[in-house]
Structure 1
Amino acid sequence: MSAVLLLVDIQNDYFPGGAMELNFSEEAGKRASQLLQAFRERALPVVHVRHVSNRPGATFFLPGTKGAEIHELVRPLQGEQVFVKHFPNSFRETPLNGYLRGLAPERLIIAGMMTHVCIDTTVRAAADLGFTCTLAGDACATRDLSFDGKPIPAEMVQAAFLAALNGTYAQLKTSEEICTSLLSVDQ
């Protein structure tokens, strides 16, 4: 198996009007949708992961809410695998590792939401488990943070986390570069 697409937490609560809106979620979602289309056109496997919060005091991804549903840009088709997680790491207490082992991909292509939490932990876990990872950095989104009373714009959060993952845990590429490389495999 050449590649598997892993879409992490591309859910309504992260989009405009959601309970935890991220910066540039629509743009990242559209790029993830392009990746998804490229994988579907080549009949390559796609795995969707969605977070459902079960911790007390949670304010988003609440069970049974529209916000916890996968966004329409990347809505799963019948037959595409969907895993539900309750922690940032998509592998923690889910059957994802075993499922991917069964597919034996040469590469795991990852895209999704909350770069500084769920994408970071999932990419690091995947690499630690021995998967060769490519991260579609432009198909990920995050939000503004603050530290020690200082604001940190989403663009800086995104750049810092992508830089930390690139090279050690994943190869960073744009969604267009990934789609182009899929096309070259077809020829």
Structure 2
Amino acid sequence: MKNTALVLIDLQNDYFNSIQGAKWPLHKTEEAAANALKILNKCRDSDIKIVHVRHEFAMDNPPFFAPNSDGAKIHESLTPKNDEEQVLKNNVNSFKDTNLKEILDSSNIENVIIVGAMSYMCIDAVTRAASDFGYNCYVAHDACTTSNVEFNGVKVDATLAHATIMSALQFAYANVHTTDEILDLI
């Protein structure tokens, strides 16, 4: 795929079950990160633009991703290289109050591959926004992760929450594929 960028969203230590002291571990983060790494490595080998997005909460006593904390660091398995773009965000939508769109537009990006966390928050927000901006979106569903959710007394397992969001994104906003299918497209 020409004019493509990989956008890795919030694959930070506080989301990993394997990190002692992680403040917000998600469902199967390690598996999602391993798949994200496969895509990252293929993009590096294919000279595709790479953008790492990292979240820090701009508030007192955040539940996770506290500024300058170990939990807010990108997981070591996905450490950005010097020539890879990095975006710091303080909102759910990676485009809001950041230079993400400028980074993509300055490289004439038409296609974005999206991986990361959380499916029902930041992945959903960035994919919908990217689609609204006119980018062709490709989400690797098995390189994304989320958590259990609850609303109005209804508890939803992480796998169902993830499937619901992926279904909605596939319906109108993105091409939703497996990691292997994304690797074949690259």
Task: Give TM-score scaled by structure 1 length.
Answer: 0.94
Q: 2:64 aligns with which of 60, 85, 93?
A: 60
Q: Which residue does the alignment assign to 1:108?
A: 112
Q: Which amino acid counterpart does residue 155 of structure 1 have in structure 2?
A: T
Task: Give TM-score scaled by structure 2 length.
Answer: 0.95
Q: 1:131 aligns with which of 132, 135, 141?
A: 135
Contact persistence 2:117–2:123 (CA under 8 A)? yes
Q: Which residue does the alignment assign to 1:7?
A: 8
Task: Report the CA distance between 1:131 and its aligned residue.
Answer: 0.7
Counterparts of 2:142 and 2:109, CA distance in 1: 22
RMSD: 1.0
Counterparts of 1:5 and 1:43, CA distance in 2: 11
Counterparts of 1:55 and 1:171, CA distance in 2: 35
Q: Which residue does the alignment assign to 2:49?
A: 45
Q: Which residue does the alignment assign to 1:185?
A: none
Equivalenced residue count is 182
Q: Which residue does the alignment assign to 1:176?
A: 180
Counterparts of 1:126 and 1:55, CA distance in 2: 26
Q: Which residue does the alignment assign to 1:72?
A: 76
Which aligned runs of 4 or more in structure 1 are off by greater than 3 angstroms? none
Q: Which amino acid counterpart does residue 59 of structure 2 have in structure 1?
A: R
1:122 matched to 2:126? The reply is: yes
**Matched residue SS, 1:90:** coil
Counterparts of 1:77 and 1:37, CA distance in 2: 11
The one-character-per-residue Cα deviations of 1:12-70 (angstroms, maximum 9, x if unpaired) are: 00001410000010000000000000000111110000001112341110011100000
- Runs (5+) with no aligned partner, structure 2: none
Task: Report the CA distance between 1:129 and its aligned residue.
Answer: 0.8
